[in-house]
Structure 1
Amino acid sequence: MKQVYSMQQSSHTPELFRFQINFSEDQLTDLKYRLQHTQWPDDPDNQDWKYGVNGRYLKTLVNYWITSYNWREVEQQMNQFSHYKVTIQDTPIHFIYQKSPHSTAIPILLTHGWPWSFWDMHKLIAPLTNPEIYGGNSEDAFDVIVPSVPGYGFSTPAPAGINFWKTADLWHILMQKILGYTHYAASGGDWGALITSQLGHKYADSLYGIHLMHTMELDQFNTEKPWDVMASHKTAENTPSQIRKQALNRMKVFVSHYAVHILDPQTIAYGLQDSPVGLLAWLLERWRSWAQTENGNIETAFSKEHMITNAMLYYMTGTVVSSMRFYADSAHYPWQPSHTHRPLIQAPTGITFLGGENPSGVTTQQRVEAFKKGPKAALYNLHYINPHERGGHFGYYENPAAVIEDIRVMFRTLR
């Protein structure tokens, strides 16, 4: 890495380095060898994926990885953006920092989750920094910061014990002390939603507002069974059978990875870090289950290239285990409130709901009203909510136009 400059705010300010993504040929050669010498298990009676990832489809995807996928082309696309690295409190942080040409731009921090990467957000960068070229107005411009969560991708090696609320502290230091912004906006999904919610709770005075793709309780790991993601989800006995079945099926898709990542992340990591195909299968199960697909066809939500790129960002950086330990350490180090004010999250909050994640029995048109009647609405200083029919759990990639629209509208009156 080549140092380009260090900030001059104080003698204790960490040095900021310009960073270029570049895996070595030796790394790529070793990866190809492992892919070509995979020991495949049998997979009988699994055409409908009822036992997990379908072997026939996985082999098709791996064959594409070996014969058609071009990392160097993707690498070149990534390096068109401005990448930096900085170490904050012994935690290496990688981030894209793309400034707008407009002097009125405000900074916005976009944070991903698991099994995401910073690259899931790349479709938003140009429209947010140069809105007038993409159907917006120059008054809606943003300086865009897209970090890799600690222990993910190029934010490595992660220190032991890092979790979502500790990451929020790092993000605040990044935005104020490293980049020099007194106020900023933030948006996030999955882990990013928890990190962003913590920013809106602890650092509300420094935020224009926050935008969320998911509404998640900050204390959700503070239970006697933190590995049971559905412990608080009850299905009433008088629920119509069809809706009850949908609710139970939806619960199932979040249970296994959550429990394993909290209880045994190190154990499973030995296999996943050793086998790129094993890792791909573990990620693929979540992508297919959580995205909004047509008849279960994952490629209606993600291209083959994008799926392999995300698998590469976990495998080649050696961050399989640290990304999974993020769950365990959110349970090992419980969240504690920073104040007793109500609502708990004081920053003005906007929420984007996507139809692929509608609760069972709730349509997209009913989504906002159903949320306002539920218990979570009281957690937020609600400023804006908007539902969209298209998209699932990975909204920044699946429906970037909806996210861009909502971010623009949300912050237009908060600048």
Structure 2
Amino acid sequence: MKNLTTFNLSVPASVLDDLKNRLKNTRWPGEAEGSGWNFGTSETYLKELVDYWINKYDWSKQEAELNKYPQYTTDVNGVKIHFQYIKGKGENSKPLLLTHGWPDSYFRFHKIIALLTEGDQSFDLVIPSIPGFGFSEKTAMDTEAVAGLWKTLMTENLGYPKFYAAGGDIGMGVTKALASKYPEVLAGVHFTDVGYPMGQEDPDTMTDAEKQFAQFVQQWWYSEGAYAMLHSSKPQSLAYGLNDSPAALAAWILSFGNAGASPDILEEAFGGRDELLTNIMIYWVTETIATSVRMYKVDAIAQWTGAKPLQKSNVPAGVAVFPREAQFPKEWAERFVHVVSFKKMEKGGHFAALEVPDTFAKELRSFFYSIP
């Protein structure tokens, strides 16, 4: 290991006082009578959540929980990277890199740390914050550039000649790029999604199941995809409001979460009310919502300027499809990765590691210990 600096999270009281003042002084826009969540995040719900945030949510307790596991910062190719690094207790722990997405953070994997570092089939867990998110450097980088940083972090900074990797959402893209560009250092990869049809596929090469999936995705983008279109086109315009108003930040993140979970299980889908707010707090105290959404634009620019499509990887891949995620067929996954395990899970959604940690940890352990 080289160039590691111990990191301990400690948010100044002035930041927390400012947060409470902003929450108390929220200018509520009003909502159409009886609209519920049909126009976006429910104001009725959000007011109740903000009241809890002000009066009952205990950041000091959450901060202590986040500091429970070792964290570091290091320089990787000139970029400051924050990451958790927890050694497994087994004799032959496997090195496993876990990459989060949006609108979550490294906290996505908090509940599975203890589950994956205990016992004989344990892992050395490396859980970084993507640049522009959380406590890493506040700069937006494209997905393939992040994959390059992760390769250097694992092989040079931490000294693992070969490792395993898993991710969903943006973390899926990073993990897929790792396997495609650096197969020599990847022993296995795991995904909860593999990407979506974007209208560029040749219909003649698609199975009926893939065509049905493409139709579902097209309908989903029309009804729920506004967030990604905004992030990919006008992230700076959006960022002013989200960085200035914690209520607005919560509303935007909740709106995305509601796309994959009905209102009655929305908090459960994020792992619980406190977990939901802790995730939002990480964006707020670091002021990284702007750089996090900017990543979509940076990725879009890379595609517009002729970035070559990633080649299909031969690295062994496991895929777990949770029921509240888009239900893609196995053959769709096989277009991009070398699928050796494909499972339809019984419960969970986009943030499965927070919502059903036991199930998610069992799936990762089962897959990664089934391959060399």
TM-score where L is the length of structure 1: 0.82
Q: Give the C-alpha shift of residue 100 in structure 1.
A: 1.1
Q: Residues 31, 232 of structure 1: CA spacing in aligned structure 2 closer, same or farther, 3 A cutoff?
A: farther
Counterpart in the other structure of 1:352: 320
Q: Residues 401, 149 of structure 1: CA spacing in aligned structure 2 closer, same or farther, 3 A cutoff?
A: same
Q: Does 1:169 align with 2:157?
A: no
Q: Residues 297, 380 of structure 1: CA spacing in aligned structure 2 closer, same or farther, 3 A cutoff?
A: closer
Counterpart in the other structure of 1:261: 231
Matches within 5 A, 1:205-220: 205-216=184-195
Distance 1:245 1:230 in 2: 10
Match of 1:397 among 337, 354, 360: 354
1:345 is paired with a residue of what secondary structure? coil
Question: Residue deviations 1:101-149, cap 9 Å, x none?
Answer: 223011000000000111111111111110x3xxxxx0x2110011111
Distance 2:188 2:214 in 1: 36
Counterpart in the other structure of 1:362: none
Deviates further, 44-53 or 141-150:
44-53
Distance 1:249 1:200 in 2: 30
> Contact conserved, 2:217 with 2:326, CA < 8 A, in 1?
no
Q: Give the C-alpha shift of residue 252 in structure 1.
A: 3.8
Q: Give the C-alpha shift of residue 396 in structure 1.
A: 1.4
Matches within 5 A, 1:135-284: 138=120, 140-158=121-139, 162-216=141-195, 250-284=220-254
> Contact conserved, 1:230 with 1:255, CA < 8 A, in 2?
no
Q: Does 1:331 align with 2:314?
A: no
Q: Does 1:371 align with 2:330?
A: yes
Counterpart in the other structure of 2:277: 308
For structure 1, the residue ranges without an aligned partner over 5 or more in a row are 1-5, 8-14, 133-137, 221-228, 360-366
Q: Give the C-alpha shift of residue 407 in structure 1.
A: 1.4
Q: Residues 312, 194 of structure 1: CA spacing in aligned structure 2 closer, same or farther, 3 A cutoff?
A: same
Deviates further, 251-260 or 318-327:
251-260
* Count of aligned pairs: 363
Q: Residues 389, 251 of structure 1: CA spacing in aligned structure 2 closer, same or farther, 3 A cutoff?
A: farther
Deviates further, 376-385 or 246-255:
246-255
Q: Give the C-alpha shift of residue 90 in structure 1.
A: 2.5
For structure 2, the residue ranges without an aligned partner over 5 or more in a row are none
2:315 is paired with a residue of what secondary structure? strand
Deviates further, 88-97 or 61-70:
88-97
> Contact conserved, 2:98 with 2:125, CA < 8 A, in 1?
yes
Distance 1:337 1:301 in 2: 33
> Contact conserved, 1:99 with 1:143, CA < 8 A, in 2?
yes
Deviates further, 246-255 or 140-149:
246-255
Question: Residue deviations 1:300-346, cap 9 Å, x none?
Answer: 323221111111111110101100011000011234357x6xxx112
Match of 1:298 among 266, 284, 291: 266
1:150 is paired with a residue of what secondary structure? coil
Question: Residue deviations 1:132-170, cap 9 Å, x none?
Answer: 3xxxxx0x2110011111100101222x5x111100000
* One-letter code aligned to 1:143: D
Matches within 5 A, 1:27-176: 27-130=15-118, 132=119, 138=120, 140-158=121-139, 162-176=141-155
Match of 1:410 among 359, 367, 370: 367
> Contact conserved, 2:268 with 2:355, CA < 8 A, in 1?
no
Q: Give the C-alpha shift of residue 232 in structure 1.
A: 6.7
* One-letter code aligned to 1:336: K
Identity within the alignment, %: 32
Q: Residues 289, 102 of structure 1: CA spacing in aligned structure 2 closer, same or farther, 3 A cutoff?
A: same
TM-score where L is the length of structure 2: 0.91
Q: Give the C-alpha shift of residue 19 in structure 1.
A: 0.1
Deviating 4+ runs (over 3 angstroms): 229-234, 243-254
